[in-house]
């Protein structure tokens, strides 16, 4: 049996999420191949070749993959699917974009958000917004799996896989890239940060998130937001932490002005240490917090930042 892990990257750097997916793939089969589809992405292929557990890197370097469109990426994966028992990707925005298309075209039932692998055909995944875990078995000849990165350790460097160039495949020619809006930040990527400082509706407005940005910068962390804060227009959608946003499990998660709706808890409750700051002592967030501070965030956060110098 062999597993094909689809790499996530920006044509220059391999995303940390791929390292977690490789670890998951190794638990499904002994042989793991990595697909790198992009344009001018030879450096990414070399980074993938250094991952422990990867025995071969398939490089599809062409203009059709410059922006990792779901249509083209799915077509590339489908062209290779017959050689593998498992197709694996991280349950990120990219993975959630193209993997359902792969599953549908293979007539397979996708197994999503896998947290653990019990056997090559048996997986553990969360249901009911993370309040329960289901053990599911897939009878499909080719298993289409997305993995929650918080469930698997990142694969370290130390490998020496071969890199094989393959022909690029184009999907629907009617689909073309028009443009994108990218949020640029010097802070760590939210899903991979060791420290995350998140704000909720209690922040009042987007301007007040400057308090959290200062604290995050002092701690070398990233800034996140609850869905309520994003829906209110306080922060962009890519800052959202939760069931319908990014799933994070940092070493330290600081929730500021977040009540703790079940959808938000599903995205951060696996954090190693959770600190909650809220003026409502009955807020649900305190039920999962390791440390709770009942206080006005507009007084508490500046004091914490001041103590950090």
- The answer to the question of whether 306 is labelled as a binding residue is no
- The answer to the question of whether 198 is labelled as a binding residue is no
Tell me the three state secondary structure of residue 9.
strand
Between strands 143-147 and 132-137, the pairing is: unpaired
- The answer to the question of whether 40 is labelled as a binding residue is no
How far apart CA 230 and CA 162 sit, in angstroms, is: 43
- E strand segments, 154-221: 162-165, 195-199
Buried b vs exposed e over 206-231: b needs ≥16 C-beta within 10 Å?
Answer: eebbebbebbbbbbebbbbbbbbbbe
- The answer to the question of whether 240 is labelled as a binding residue is yes
Strands of the sheet containing 31-38, edge to edge, are 111-114, 143-147, 86-90, 2-6, 31-38, 54-61, 162-165
- The answer to the question of whether 110 is labelled as a binding residue is no
- The answer to the question of whether 20 is labelled as a binding residue is no
How far apart CA 217 and CA 214 sit, in angstroms, is: 5
Residues with Cβ within 8 Å of 138's Cβ and at least 6 positions away in sequence, in order, are: 108, 109, 111, 121, 122, 123
- The answer to the question of whether 243 is labelled as a binding residue is yes
How far apart CA 94 and CA 69 sit, in angstroms, is: 9
- The answer to the question of whether 262 is labelled as a binding residue is yes
- The answer to the question of whether 174 is labelled as a binding residue is no
- The answer to the question of whether 307 is labelled as a binding residue is no
- The answer to the question of whether 263 is labelled as a binding residue is yes
How far apart CA 138 and CA 30 sit, in angstroms, is: 19
- The answer to the question of whether 278 is labelled as a binding residue is yes
Nearest to residue 277, comparing CAs of 303, 240, 251?
303
Q: Which residues pair with 254 in a beta bridge?
A: 197, 275
- The answer to the question of whether 201 is labelled as a binding residue is yes
Nearest to residue 214, comparing CAs of 278, 291, 296, 309?
309
User: Which residues belong to the annotated binding site for FAD?
Assistant: 201, 226-227, 240-244, 257-264, 278
User: Which residues belong to the annotated binding site?
Assistant: 201, 226-227, 240-244, 257-264, 278
């Amino acid at each position: 049996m062999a597993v094909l892990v689809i790499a996530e990257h920006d044509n220059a750097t391999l995303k940390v999420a791929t390292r977690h997916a490789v670890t998951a793939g190794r638990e499904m089969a002994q042989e793991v191949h990595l697909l790198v589809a992009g344009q001018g992405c030879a450096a990414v292929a070399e980074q993938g070749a250094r991952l422990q557990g990867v025995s071969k890197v398939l490089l599809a370097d062409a203009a059709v993959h410059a922006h990792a469109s779901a249509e083209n990426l799915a077509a590339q994966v489908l062209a290779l699917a017959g050689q593998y028992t498992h197709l694996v990707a991280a349950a990120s925005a990219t993975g959630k974009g193209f993997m359902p298309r792969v599953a549908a075209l293979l007539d397979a039932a996708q197994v999503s958000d896998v947290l653990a692998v019990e056997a090559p055909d048996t997986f553990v995944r969360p249901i009911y917004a993370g309040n329960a875990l289901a053990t599911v078995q897939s009878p499909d000849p080719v298993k289409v799996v997305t993995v929650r990165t918080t469930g698997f350790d990142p694969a370290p460097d130390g490998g020496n896989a071969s890199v094989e160039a393959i022909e690029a495949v184009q999907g629907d020619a009617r689909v073309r890239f028009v443009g994108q809006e990218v949020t640029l930040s010097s802070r760590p990527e939210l899903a991979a940060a060791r420290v995350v400082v998140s704000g909720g509706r209690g922040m009042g407005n987007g301007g007040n998130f400057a308090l959290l940005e200062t604290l995050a910068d002092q701690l070398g962390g990233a800034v996140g937001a609850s869905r309520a804060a994003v829906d209110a227009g306080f922060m962009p959608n890519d800052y959202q932490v939760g069931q319908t946003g990014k799933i994070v499990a940092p070493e330290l998660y600081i929730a500021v002005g977040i009540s703790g709706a079940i959808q938000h808890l599903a995205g951060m409750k696996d954090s190693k240490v959770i600190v909650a700051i809220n003026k409502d002592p009955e807020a649900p967030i305190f039920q999962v917090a390791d440390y709770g501070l009942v206080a006005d965030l507009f007084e508490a956060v500046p004091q914490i930042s001041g103590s950090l110098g």
